[in-house]
């Protein structure tokens, strides 16, 4: 009979957006000149972000350890990468780390250029009340406010790829990594 030794999922304090904002605050980025328009009419400027910033964000998400299982027939423990709890933790880790990379690209890799007439910008209040009614916490941090506005007001699913591509191009991020992150975002929403 096999015994599985279970490990707890890795817990990093704070939510994903707070961890991204913290990492962004500790890095500088250089402004670029490229602007692009989202489906909502919002115009953004793509900025280069440091690969070290992405690395620091990713370090906040420790990959779950493979559990060990004791196999009586051979008298020793071996890795059990097929453990359902482990697979679930890996899926969560992939989703959360990919979303953190996207959040980093949104907040550190874009700058608001213009908002179309009739649309409320990140400094508005109506969208904040809508998020509050939906149970999403707002803070006084301007970068977090901008990130939440981009995610919940200014963008749709197609814009995620556009932002990722534009910021990735300015930053030298591998397109395959951007697409993986975008797919994780789509699964979450």
| Every domain of the chain and the residues it spans | 15-62+95-188
Query: What is the C-alpha radius of gyration for the chain, rounded to an integer number of angstroms?
Result: 20
CA 119 to chain centre: 25
**How much is the mean pLDDT over the chain?**
81
Q: Which two tokens stand for residue 55?
A: 């690395």
Cα separation of 183 and 15, whole Å? Answer: 20
pLDDT at 172: 79
Contact 29, 49 (CB under 8 A): yes
Residue 167 — very low, low, confident or very high, per pLDDT cuts 50/70/90? Answer: very high
Helix (H) or strand (E) holding 30: none
- CA-nearest of 187, 6, 26, 31 to 104 is 26
Where in 43-97 does DSSP place strands (E)? 43-46, 68-71, 76-79
Higher pLDDT, 54 or 42: 42
Angstrom distances, CA of residue 40 to CA of 2, 37, 179: 55, 8, 21
Query: How far apart are the C-alpha atoms of 94 and 71, rounded to whole Å?
Result: 29
In whole angstroms, what is the distance from residue 120 CA to residue 63 CA? 39
What's the whole-model pTM score?
0.68
Specify the pLDDT at position 6: 38
Q: Check residues 176 and 77 and name the one with the higher pLDDT.
A: 77
* Secondary structure tally for the chain: helices H, strands E: 7, 6
More confident residue, 73 or 185: 73
Residues in the chain: 189
pLDDT tens-digit readout, 106-164: 999 999 999 999 999 999 989 999 999 999 988 889 999 999 999 999 999 889 999 99
Look at residue 137 in the predicted model and tell me its pLDDT: 85
Give dist(CA 32, CA 186) in Å, integer: 28
For the chain, strand residue ranges (E) read 3-5, 35-37, 43-46, 68-71, 76-79, 110-114
Q: Tell me what pLDDT residue 51 has.
A: 87
Q: 71: which strand partners?
A: 76
- Provide, rounded to the nearest whole percent, the portion of the chain with pLDDT above 90: 56
Q: Is 52 exposed, middle or buried (0-12, 13-18, 19+ CB in 10 A)?
A: exposed
């Amino acid at each position: 009979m096999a015994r599985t030794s279970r490990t707890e999922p890795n817990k990093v304090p704070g939510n994903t957006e707070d961890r991204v904002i913290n990492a962004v605050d500790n890095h500088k980025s250089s402004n670029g000149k490229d602007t692009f328009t989202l489906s909502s009419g919002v115009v953004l400027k793509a900025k280069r972000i440091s690969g070290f910033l992405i690395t620091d964000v990713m370090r906040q998400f420790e990959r779950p350890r493979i559990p060990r299982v004791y196999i009586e027939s051979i008298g020793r423990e071996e890795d059990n990468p097929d453990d359902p709890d482990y697979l679930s933790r890996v899926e969560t880790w992939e989703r959360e780390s990919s979303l953190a990379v996207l959040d980093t690209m949104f907040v550190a890799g874009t700058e608001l250029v213009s908002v179309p007439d009739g649309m409320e910008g990140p400094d508005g209040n109506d969208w904040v009340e809508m998020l509050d009614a939906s149970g999403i916490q707002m803070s006084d941090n301007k970068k977090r406010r901008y990130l939440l506005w981009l995610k919940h007001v200014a963008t749709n699913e197609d814009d995620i790829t556009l932002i990722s591509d534009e910021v990735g191009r300015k930053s030298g991020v591998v397109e395959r990594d951007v697409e993986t992150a975008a797919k994780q975002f789509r699964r979450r929403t």
